[in-house]
Structure 1
Amino acid sequence: MSFANARTTRPLLLGSRHMVSAGHPLAAHAALIVLEAGGNAVDAGVAAGFALNVTQPDMANLGGVAPVLIHMSGRDLVTSIAGIGHWPALATLEAVKAAGNGRIPAAPQRWVVPGALDAWLKSLELYGTISAAEALAPAIDLARHGFPVYYFLRHNLIEAAPLWTGWSNAAVYMADGRVPEEGEPLRQVALAETLERLAAAEKAAGGSRENGIRAARDCFYRGEIAEIAGRFSQEVGGFLRASDMAAYEAAEEPVLSVTYHGRCFYGCGPWSQGPAVLQMLKMAERYDIAVLPEAELHHLLIEIAERALHERNRYYGDPRINEIDTEWLLSDAHAAELTGGLDAYHRAADNDALPRPGRRSPDTTYVCVVDRHGNAFSATPSDSTILVTPMIPGLGFGLSDRGLQASLDPANPNAVAPGKRPRLTPNPGLMMGPEGLMVYGTPGGEVQTQAMLQFLMHHLHRGADLQAAVETPRWASYGVPATEDPHSARPGLVYVEEPLINKVGPRLKDLGHDPKPWPRLAALSGGICAIRRDAGTGVLSGAGDPRRMSYAMGR
């Protein structure tokens, strides 16, 4: 398929100074404010992250998770911040299993320590230039004064409202007893006050910028906020306590990387599903993606994605607990093993005999920034305070229920254990090569890695510019057991967006798949944001996915 004259719903955004793309336009604007004031990519990315916690409470929250990738051009550095909390000390495998009657409980017993707040502040402390108060300012304004409810948020509020019996969520999201209409303001005063506490703690600490940021962090993890959170967890039956909060620190951890056609692609470690994208690339490198007929291309990519996700389920987990041979997982030799026999691979499965998906999980959002110096920030915050998690009264955020993505099989590397981090689906991406730098990512749970793979293949090999690659019709396979309990799978099932299914559906069926239609620009197929910076000219291109609220801004 040629993309030379591809029509998109939005133009490709070009700039020469800085660029941001985020899951909500107001979060992108928060980053742009910081960039225009002279802040770097990390400053802007953290400001956008805080703003996303306000504008997309159905997608992420202050008490959730936030894996981060950072590139600092002056230091020739790529690093990650592991914004994922650990299981509480009381959360033994036996206790969690008993609480859920043999499953991961859809209840407070699956809550883990919040990781997002420390990920934002750790990023700012180590690689930013502004204060926590400056990074918090746009989010505080949005929370206190409100923003207009948009269609996607209203849809999720309507869906979640029946769950809120006895929860404080209703007092925030249904202040007058009803879900707000599109365009009505949503104010989150308690959340604004929590964010203001952090800024006040920083100011009271005095001293260096870094010392103030650490004081804001301690206000959350070791002060009254932690005490309130711990008491609330105990009152509703959760295992998390203030002592678990005090013991936590987001870790700066080495990134993983692979070379792919002369470019270096980076991902977070096996505490996320980031290595799966890298494994997919190593498998795809063995094929001439540019010349494959369209149906055969999608068949190949589906099989590559499924094999990488099987690898994820078999090997990935918290590397502080598990010994994981990532060098072998990402090697050319292992890619050759995984693709052996792929061309002849056909599937036979009884779809109706397999378990259906369980209760809906938290969703996710994304932000990326590239600044005037070529520094880059890529982060995928997650965990909703609307869909499944009760809000802590008076604080305006909920505790991370990321434990739903763990396993109760003691032999699984992602098994529940006190102090262990459950493996995340959120996984930001970053690429560096002779032609420049690119940051990219998406929400979507099991779909994330698959959407990222398709975006990269269309952009790098099929002639699509950044926006066209974002909007190109996508598919998602549900043939591999999901990360989330009850780890459902439907071997063969592939949802394919229109009009792509009309072109490739019959051939995919011949090749052993079970294609089902998705509408054009289906929200469940992800919401990719991406920025690219040309190494020669410094020109920036930005793209935002119209499937969701994603939006790019820059100049």
Structure 2
Amino acid sequence: MRRLFFLAALIFLGLATRAQQTQKPPLHGKHWMAVTGKPLAATAGSMIFQKGGNAVDAACAMLAATCTMWDVLSWGGETQALIYNPKTKKVIAINALGVAPTGATVEFFKSKGYGFPPEYGPLAAVTPGTPGGLCYMLAEYGTLSLKEVLAPAMEMAAGYPIEAQTANSMERSKDRLKQWPYSKAVFLTHPGEKREAPEAGEIFVQKDLLATLTKMVEAEQMALKNKKSRKEAIMAAYDRFYKGDIAKEFVRGCKEQGGLITEQDLAKWKPIEEEPLHVNYKGIEVYKLQSWTQGPMLLQSLNILENFDLKGMGYNSAQYIHTLYQTMNLTFADRDFYYGDPYFTPKTPIEGLLSKAYAKERAKQINPDHNDAAAAPGDPYPFEGKTNPYLRLLKQRSALTDTSAQKKPEGFVPKHDAAGLLNVPATDRMYAANDADSLYMDRLWRGTTSVEAADEEGWVVSVTPSGGWTPACIAGHTGVGMSQRLQSFVLDSALCPFNVIAPGKRPRVTLTPSMALKDGKPYLSFAVQGGDTQDQNLLQFFLDVVEFGMTVQQATEAANINTNQLWLSLGGTSIKERMPHPGSILLNNNTPESVRETLKKMGYITTFGERTSGPVNAILLDSKHGSLWGGSSNHGEDYGIGW
């Protein structure tokens, strides 16, 4: 074992000394940095910075552009953000996640034979959150008008050259898209031809979406003419979307296709500004969103990992990988059972979950020599002076989990396309195995995008928007694709009593922007796409920078691991399809044979991939030099620009 640790240390030392030897160059900027999931969207952010906008303005422009480009999300999805305000020197959280509509009850979905709400279509939709979240962030913390910030997205809606990844996704999804008349009209630009979706480079036009964005800008400009303030004018655009003619058409189109969203649902919904959660990891304050996301899982993991000498183990040594895997299994088990909308009862016992004392008890449960296939939720209630009211449910829940090893055929190796591991539909068969395995991995990795922005004034923004991905059901003539986030609810309280569907409630989502402060100043802003792998990859990115001294670009490219020992948050409408795969681990192809063999002896079922880091986007604020470092993953289409 000592020899293995020594070898890992040498590997790390070689990595750390090759600061610039990455596949993509690190980004450097003095004035601003814009990083997101598409090159054109990053350009939109740079255009706003060049107009004199701040990081919030630029982030809103990038968000609007990615939605318009269907970067695995659309305008009808959801937005969640962390913003550092240099004026107050505080991190704030924006909750712009939609809610379950009227009629979305356990009884309704069970009567239709669902074990979980559906993956696609109008019955998968929560109310749209992104338009409201964008307007709120811009009004409260931006400096420019909605007209200025939406200008790049509106130009793109009028027609932009579509990239291959999105165009091919439309083609692969065309049979499903044909079920919905408004989606068919937008996405299938060559009906009846062999290829019905746009070709790569074709000018893709979205007239209905352009009309919707134009209406919002018109509402803002009319308010300004009527002597309203900048904030009031932007919120006039908000009102037109949620209470005006846009809302009426959205609801009409939703209901026509079998959806549940009502005009009252839209009018009642509002984005919420919240206090983020945070923990201190070795002097660094790490911030995440509340328990309506999976974000606290990363904070819990850091609390547990403080009890181990990670640097001494060595980057991606067998013991390091094992410790990470076991830690994540414990925190995912807590996520799966305890996380939910904090504005509904029962309320997540977040104080206990984030307790350092609770973390020490969980750390003691880690077997240093073998995987624990039966890793289960802990009991955080005593750590906030309470008695756990769900002990009976925990026993019921354990009966739902098959802890036997999930055998996979020899040669079970991921296949890759030009975009890397993520966002490859199940129909492409990412795995050379059976259909169930392919579908499981697609659902585990199901992607979205991320938006990172920072400026020299000190504003820093981290956003992980999502929802309304292709194949999306467009609501009437709005051009707006409806969210599919309802599927992240459960219908059985034995799975999670905190996340049972109810009208007006937010589902617990995988979306999880991140921010860290060091010495009271912004230090890191980072986010990633990829479903249940998001906080797995973000945890390892953070440790790569903090423990192993990597640059942000190195850390976005560094080999990570993925655990499959968790309940899926997306996809599948039965218990069997969402159950954990105990001991299943994804490793990088470059993992040394000695590490592979050690992990197998520890009870792991190993699979391998060429790129295992997830498309992380990040900004490091270099207080020593007064500059910005940007990092953007070396696969997928994520891209950054700095100045």
Q: TM-score range by the shorter chain?
A: over 0.9
CA contact (8 A) 1:99 1:109 kept: no
Partners of 1:406 and 1:502 in 2: how far apart? 40
| Residues 133-532 of structure 1: pairs in structure 2 closer than 5 A | 133-146=147-160, 148-167=161-180, 168-177=182-191, 178-206=196-224, 207-293=228-314, 294-321=317-344, 322-342=346-366, 343-347=368-372, 349-351=404-406, 357=439, 363-387=447-471, 389-410=472-493, 412-434=497-519, 436-484=522-570, 485=572, 486=574, 487-500=578-591, 502=593, 504-518=595-609, 520-521=610-611, 526-532=614-620
Q: 1:164 to 1:548 in 2, by over 3 A?
A: same
TM-score by length of 1: 0.95
Residue of 66, 70, 74 corresponding to 1:61: 74
Offset of 1:162 from its aligned partner? 2.1
Deviation at 1:183, TM superposition (A): 2.5
Give the SS at the match of 1:467: helix
- Aligned partners of 2:371, 2:81: CA distance in 1, in Å? 37
1:497–1:186 Cα change, 3 Å: farther
Matched, 1:550 2:632: no
C-alpha distance in 1 between matches for 2:447 and 2:252: 26
| 1:359 positional shift | 11
Question: Is the Cα–Cα contact under 8 Å of residues 65 and 83 in structure 1 kept in the other structure?
Answer: yes
Query: C-alpha offsets along residues 131-183 of structure 1, whole Å, 9 cap, x if unaligned?
Result: 1111111111111121x332322342232122112323232222123223322
What is the SS of the residue equivalent to 1:351?
coil
What is the CA deviation profile of residues 310-351 of structure 1, one whole-angstrom value per residue up to 9, with x for unaligned ones? 110111000001322222211111111111131244245231
1:108 CA drift (Å): 2.3
Partner residue of 2:387? none
CA RMSD after TM alignment: 2.0
Q: Which amino acid aligns with 1:158?
A: E
Aligned equivalents of 1:214, 1:359: Cα separation in 2: 41
Instruction: Name the counterpart of 1:80.
Output: 93
For the pair shown, the structure with the greater C-alpha radius of gyration is 2
Cα distance between partner residues in 2 of 1:182 and 1:276 = 39
Deviations 1:73-99 (A, max 9, x none): 121121111010111121122112223
- Quote the offset at 1:282 in angstroms: 1.0
Q: Name the SS for the 2:313 alignment partner.
A: coil
Amino acid of the structure 2 residue aligned with 1:191 = L
Q: Using the alignment, how far apart are the partners of 1:111 and 1:393 within structure 2?
A: 14
Indicate if the aligned counterparts of 1:99 and 1:105 stay in contact, CA closer than 8 A: no
Aligned pair count? 549
Partner of 1:42: 56
CA-to-partner distance for each residue in 1:449-478, whole Å, 9 max, x for gaps?
A: 101011111111112111011001222111
| Whole-Å separation in 2 of the counterparts to 1:503 and 1:382 | 39
AA matched with 1:492: G
Which residue matches 2:628? 540
8 Å contact 2:586–2:606 — kept in the other structure?
A: yes
Q: Which amino acid aligns with 2:247?
A: A
Instruction: Describe the SS at the equivalent of 2:312.
Output: coil
5+ long unaligned stretches in structure 1: none
In structure 2, which of residues 18, 22, 25 is the aligned counterpart of residue 8 of structure 1? Answer: 22
Q: 1:345 to 1:173 in 2, by over 3 A?
A: same
Flag structure 2 segments of 5+ consecutive residues without an equivalent: 1-11, 374-403, 409-433
Out of 38, 47, 51, the position equivalent to 1:24 is 38
- Within 2, Cα distance between the matches of 1:399 and 1:181? 24
* Amino acid corresponding to residue 202 of structure 2 in structure 1: E
Encode CA deviations 1:228-261: one digit per residue, 9 max, x unaligned: 1212222222211111001100111110000001
CA distance in 2, matches of 1:436, 1:313: 31
CA displacement 1:100-136 (0-9 Å, x = unmatched): 4443234422311111111111111111111111111
Q: Secondary structure at the match of 1:157?
A: helix
- Identity percentage over the alignment? 31
